[in-house]
Amino acid sequence: MARKLTDTFLRGMEPNTEERDTVVEGLIARKRADALSFVFAFQRHGKRHKITLGQYPGTSLAEARDKAQAHRGALQAGRMPHPADTPCRSVNDLLDRYAAHLDETAKDPAQVKAILAKHVRPSLGPYDLTSLTRRDVQGLVDRIRPLTVAGAVGRYVTAAMNYGERRGLIEHAIRNLEMPSTGEPRQRVLSDGEITALMTDWLPHGPDALARSQFGSIFALCLLTGARRSEIAELTRAEIDVANGVIHLSAQRSKGGRETEVLLSSFALRILAQVPLRGDKVFPVERPRTADAAGGTRPGRAMRGFVSGFSRAVADSQRRTKTDAWTIHDLRRTAATQMAMAGIEPHIVEAILNHAAPRLRMTYSVKPHEAKARAALEAWGTRVWGLAGWE
The yes-or-no verdict on residue 288 having pLDDT over 70 is no
Instruction: Label residue 1 by pLDDT band (50, 70, 90).
Output: low
Specify the pTM: 0.63
Strands 240-241 and 17-21: unpaired
pLDDT value of position 358? 57
Task: With beta carbons less than 8 A apart as the criterion, state whether 332 and 224 touch.
Answer: no
Q: What is the pLDDT of residues 46-72, one digit of tens each?
A: 888 888 787 788 788 998 898 899 888
Q: Give the pLDDT of residue 167.
A: 79
pLDDT at 264 over 80: yes
CB 153 within 8 A of CB 119: yes
Residue 142 has pLDDT above 70, yes or no: yes
Res. 292: pLDDT tops 50? no
What's the CA gap between 296 and 16, in Å, rounded? Answer: 10
Q: What angle do CA 329, 106, 81 make, to 5 degrees?
A: 170
329-362 pLDDT, tens digit each: 999 999 999 999 999 999 899 989 988 665 544 4
Q: How confident is the model over 98-138, as pLDDT tens digits?
A: 988 888 777 778 889 989 999 999 999 888 888 889 999 99
Task: Quote the pLDDT of residue 364.
Answer: 40
- The pLDDT tens digits of the residues spanning 297-336 come to 455 666 678 888 999 999 999 999 999 889 999 999 999 9
Condensed to tens digits (0 to 9), the pLDDT of residues 217-259 reads: 999 999 999 999 999 999 999 999 999 999 999 988 887 777 8
Pairwise CA distance, residues 132 & 59, whole Å: 16
Closest C-alpha among 202, 141, 132, 226 to residue 171: 132
Question: If 0-12 CB within 10 Å is exposed, 13-18 middle and 19+ buried, where does residue 34 land?
Answer: exposed
Structural domains for the chain = 1-86 (3.30.160.390), 87-178 (1.10.150.130), 192-285+301-388 (1.10.443.10)
Identify the pLDDT of residue 296: 44
For residue 104, CA distances in Å to 80, 157, 173 come to: 18, 18, 22
